[in-house]
Amino acid sequence: MEKQAEIELRPEDRGDDYDAIVVGSGYGGSVAACRMSRAGIKVCLLEKGRRWKAEDFPTDSWKIMSAVRYQNQNLGIRFGPEDALFQLYEQNDSLAAVACGLGGGSLVNAGVMLPTPIRARRNLKWPKEWERDWDICESSAAAMLRIQSSSVKFPIAKVMGEIAGAEFEANIESSVKLSVNFDVEEPPSNPPRLEQINSCFACGNCLAGCPYNAKNSTDKNYLISAIQAGCTIRTKCQVQYVIKNPHGICQPGGISRERRWRVYINEIDYITSDWVILSAGVLGTTEILFRSQMRGLRLPDTLGSGFSCNGNNLAYVAGWKPCTPEWLWIEQKAIIRDTFPR
């Protein structure tokens, strides 16, 4: 990394101003910061969590416990470090897991990179002009994230191959693209200047952070590019709320340097900017907006309603036995019915 990415916010920074402030460093925030910085815009990215190096990620159950923060709304309890890698929220019958760190969810996801389905691109809610550049943008993202075909030859994948073979025999050899380095494909002829990473050891620790520095999380590509273009990144900096700057009146001709927005990191200290991009995830962004609404920011009454998250289903497989054809047929029909409701 050519420039230090971890910059602590100091009290004397109150009143610092930027053209744009980006909150959150996952895929949305890192891409926004990168694109704007490379366009010559003065950008500051604020991240609640800290920077995680490969050797910092937990590799066993005991270490994972120390990297978890748990909060139960019904019981009113919370414990664990505030900058824990995994932030767990439980309320009623819902449990949400959120990643916290420079790189956001890209630190602890599986890194699966699939092209946008045609049926999704045909949705009328997308602006028509986006379709023109869709393939170009996907190719650009693939190059930046350095996606590669996953290897299906790892010895430890034998059991999973036996399980999946009966159900997905036709597709077992077709590998998906991952933002993980397998060193099985030729690098692009003119690669961007990004952080060097190692090769995957098939340890299976992707969902707890890669301890071998083989995953192309956003802190190794988009954020590196943003820093090289002049972006300021501040970690361990949790945004509390956003309000309009009472002194941010734009004069004709753009003479005034007062900014339009104040982004508060506590009840006293704030940073100003003309544009604010909230990309702190489903829960983080909504929480910031609720706090901002309580302090006078006019927002729709529907705030907090109708949003969704990834909705991933986690399951453990133990004591597996080959299934009979009759059972397999019934379960396949059930999966199709539940996954693609009419």
Query: Per-residue confidence of the chain (342 residues) as pLDDT tens digits?
Result: 434 434 443 334 444 789 999 999 999 999 999 999 999 999 999 999 999 999 999 998 889 989 999 999 889 999 999 999 999 999 888 888 899 999 999 999 989 898 888 888 888 888 888 888 899 999 999 999 999 987 666 666 666 666 655 555 454 455 688 999 987 666 655 556 667 889 988 888 999 999 999 999 999 999 999 999 999 999 999 999 999 998 755 555 555 567 899 999 999 999 999 999 999 998 999 999 999 999 999 999 999 887 777 655 555 556 656 655 554 444 444 443 444 343
What whole-number distance in Å separates Cα of residue 54 and Cα of residue 213? Answer: 5
What whole-number distance in Å separates Cα of residue 263 and Cα of residue 280? Answer: 14
pLDDT at 26 (0 to 100): 94
pLDDT at 174 (0 to 100): 57
What whole-number distance in Å separates Cα of residue 14 and Cα of residue 232? Answer: 15
Q: Residue 232 forms beta bridges with which residues?
A: 44
Q: What is the pTM of this model?
A: 0.79
List the structure tokens of 166.
Answer: 């009966």
pLDDT at 17 (0 to 100): 86
List the structure tokens of 92.
Answer: 């009623």
Residue 202 CB neighbour total at 10 angstroms: 18
Cα within 13 Å of Cα(92), Cβ side: 1
Is the Cβ–Cβ distance between 134 and 167 less than 8 Å?
no
List the structure tokens of 328.
Answer: 């397999």
What whole-number distance in Å separates Cα of residue 227 and Cα of residue 221? Answer: 10
Pairing of β 270-278 and β 261-264: antiparallel
Q: 175 CB contacts (<8 Å, ≥6 apart)? A: 149, 150, 151, 152
pLDDT at 333 (0 to 100): 42
